[in-house]
Structure 1
Amino acid sequence: MDQNMRNSRRTSIGRSLSRSSWNMEEVFAGGRDSRRSSRIDEDEEALKWAAIEKLPTYDRLRTSIMQSYLENETPGQKMAHKEVDVTKLDVNDRQKFIDKLFRVAEEDNEKFLSKFRNRIEKVGIKLPTVEVRFEHLTIEANCHVGNRALPTLPNAARNIADSILGMVGINLAKRTKLTILKDASGIIKPSRMTLLLGPPSSGKTTLLLALAGKLDPSLKVRGEVTYNGYRMNEFEPQKTSAYISQNDVHVGVMTVKETLDFSARCQGVGSRYELLTELARREKDAGILPEAEVDLFMKATAVKGVESSLITDYTLKILGLDICKDTIVGDEMQRGISGGQKKRVTTGEMIVGPTKTLYMDEISTGPR
């Protein structure tokens, strides 16, 4: 009896050991297969990059690699690397790319921006920054007194007549001088978010307009505003800065996506193409292969003349407007998106452009 029990135990132990050895072989085999698949993917991607590097510069800056998992395959097992012309990306390709790259907008956007910065710093390129200074800034306005200050049609007609008489030196209207800002000085450091606080009617909007170069010509300005040491009359401030108004002024019949696409085409790509050209040259000289996702994004947002850019899809995703991108903005006569969404559209209109400095005037608390 004891001998039979010992034999059965030996048999069961031998079976368990043989099963465990099979499982271990499967684990190691699976690991070898995954490593082999990873090496194949890397080799395939390297061959694609080598083919792109042989293209002429113009074509090379418009060609990138789009990575996607093959259908009916387990993610991580087989990945396709497809050469794409960034000027010919259709709506589905752009949407798949954005959804894959920014699943959780807040978290994934921070990771992507870190990759973007690392790619540029790896070859020794420094992104341009802007330091804004304003010294002894005083802004005054000549205002009508009493009922003449009311925005009525008779007053508007009288103002036109007064302006005509003013050309020949005749001033009939009674005016008073109003000081909006008095001897204001400060520095806005680059790569920072600066919060401007003050009570109502303290001149916050006027200061932002002055810094953005959008003040009314009728105002009297003393003092100096400089960008990296350059005065406002020495460059075009509208190409460097953007003022985001607290008033939402849109074309009501256009959809959210159409609004941002139109704004992106009007503002252009700025210095993105020049940055990409220098970056590609330095990476080629150093033998550095860029990350496919970052490369595709940079090239797709640096091309000119496209009807709908990837920067629009990116902005829609980051601002949470992708859920209403095909809805009209709306106005007083037509129902469209909500007030909060309209505020974000106003912000998105400016950030799709290449401007380096943004002045946001009560973008979340202004009139709706």
Structure 2
Amino acid sequence: MDGVERARASGRRPSHSNLSRSISRSLSRASWNMEDMFSVGRQSRRSSLVDEDEEALKWAAIEKLPTYNRLRTSIIKSFAETEVQGNKTLLHKEVDVRKLDVNDRQNFIDKLFKVAEEDNEKFLKKFRQRVEKVGIRLPTIEVRFDHLTIEADCHIGSRALPTLPNAARNMVESALGVIGINLAARTKLRILNDASGIIKPSRMALLLGPPSSGKTTLLLALAGKLDPSLKVTGDLTYNGYELKEFMPRKSSAYISQNDVHIGEMTVKETLDFSARCQGVGTRYDLLSELARREKDAGIFPEAEVDLFMKATAMEGVESSLITDYTLKVSSVQFL
């Protein structure tokens, strides 16, 4: 109990000296609290600066590596328990992206995509910002189809039934058709009639229509996988180039609704096998050019984005990081 409180308890008015002493004690306590707050702030800033310096030193060491090793080495962040209970220290570890174990991949994906829908959008924006920061523009494709009409010659009546006699007759007639002899009567079936539209890059297009309205035929036409026996009229262009001047199969894929996966393989094994068959495409070339420009400009990339890009651009990896990413992002859609 200070002098003011004792004076009030005894019923006397506090003296001027007692009041000044109580005010000085209050100010001293407040100054102590402010010093504690500033000391905590200084410690947090000091620790963040230490982490940044450590990460910069790691990146500087990676930049001195040969190009072949530099494109395969990245930094993974992890927290380690310290001697002080409840405190954790941020560690920056150099890793070979081809030798990430299961725990490292899983921890990385869980940390990067805690909320898959929100964090995936943030990650894609970071990916784009890194590429655009050094002046690289990713290629885009605009698909246009004008007055696209697709017709097929087909049998009519009982002749169109998928029976063994009809199949044998079709083989004989196709052989005779090579020399210009046509025996069976056929009719023209118009599958797609005067369709026009534009598929903009970086957009999602939804194709709706009743059964047998030509949706699959349109998608096959855009992917360049139509049956050669079909008659196609109209214009179909990719960035202004016609189908004969462009290779759509190198930049597009049509996924059939039929299940052609191996039943003995798990979902992860199927995705890993598919990723290895498709290869890395131009991702390695993009990474090489990106790393060269960042080195010339003195830019250190964000560790998470760099690790993901390098891990998904390496060939010969049995279990790819992109498989874990696909499973993490797509799992939200099935819940």
Q: Which TM class, normalised by the smaller chain length?
A: 0.7 to 0.9
Instruction: Tell me the residue number matched to 1:328.
Output: none
SS at match of 1:262: helix
Cα-Cα RMSD: 2.6
Q: Does 1:273 align with 2:279?
A: no
Q: Which amino acid aligns with 1:67?
A: K
Separation of aligned partners in 1, 2:28 and 2:9: 21
1:71 Cα shift?
Answer: 3.1
Separation of aligned partners in 1, 2:286 and 2:228: 35
CA deviations over 1:93-114 (Å, ceiling 9, x no partner): 1111110000000000111111
Contact 1:65 1:81 in 2 (8 A): yes
Contact 1:265 1:307 in 2 (8 A): yes
Larger Rg: 2
Q: Which amino acid aligns with 2:67?
A: T
Instruction: Tell me the residue number matched to 1:335.
Output: none
1:26 to 36, 43, 46: 36
Instruction: Tell me the residue number matched to 1:309.
Output: 320
TM (norm. structure 2) is 0.88
Which segment drifts farther, 108-117 or 69-78? 69-78
Instruction: Tell me the residue number matched to 2:270.
Output: 259
TM (norm. structure 1) is 0.80
CA deviations over 1:121-165 (Å, ceiling 9, x no partner): 111111110011223322111111112222233333332233233
Q: Does 1:214 align with 2:221?
A: no
Stretches of structure 1 lacking an aligned partner (at least 5 in a row): 322-339, 345-368
Q: Does 1:36 align with 2:46?
A: yes
Q: Which amino acid aligns with 1:95?
A: Q
Once the two structures are superposed, the pairs formed by residues 209-358 of structure 1 within 5 Å of their partners are 209-320=220-331
Which segment drifts farther, 209-218 or 197-206? 197-206
Instruction: Tell me the residue number matched to 1:102.
Output: 113
Separation of aligned partners in 1, 2:124 and 2:303: 14
Q: Which amino acid aligns with 2:328?
A: K
Q: Does 1:118 align with 2:136?
A: no
Q: Which amino acid aligns with 2:51?
A: D
Question: How many percent of aligned residue pairs carry the same amino acid?
Answer: 75
SS at match of 1:23: helix
Separation of aligned partners in 2, 1:75 and 1:2: 45
Instruction: Tell me the residue number matched to 2:149.
Output: 138
Q: Which amino acid aligns with 2:190?
A: T
SS at match of 1:243: coil
SS at match of 2:254: strand
Separation of aligned partners in 2, 1:182 and 1:277: 46
Residues matched between the structures, number: 324
Stretches of structure 2 lacking an aligned partner (at least 5 in a row): 1-5
Which segment drifts farther, 44-53 or 3-12? 3-12
1:317 Cα shift?
Answer: 0.9
Instruction: Tell me the residue number matched to 2:3.
Output: none
Separation of aligned partners in 2, 1:201 and 1:75: 64
1:318 Cα shift?
Answer: 0.9
Once the two structures are superposed, the pairs formed by residues 159-238 of structure 1 within 5 Å of their partners are 159-238=170-249
Separation of aligned partners in 2, 1:253 and 1:140: 40
Q: Which amino acid aligns with 1:283?
A: E
Separation of aligned partners in 1, 2:168 and 2:35: 92
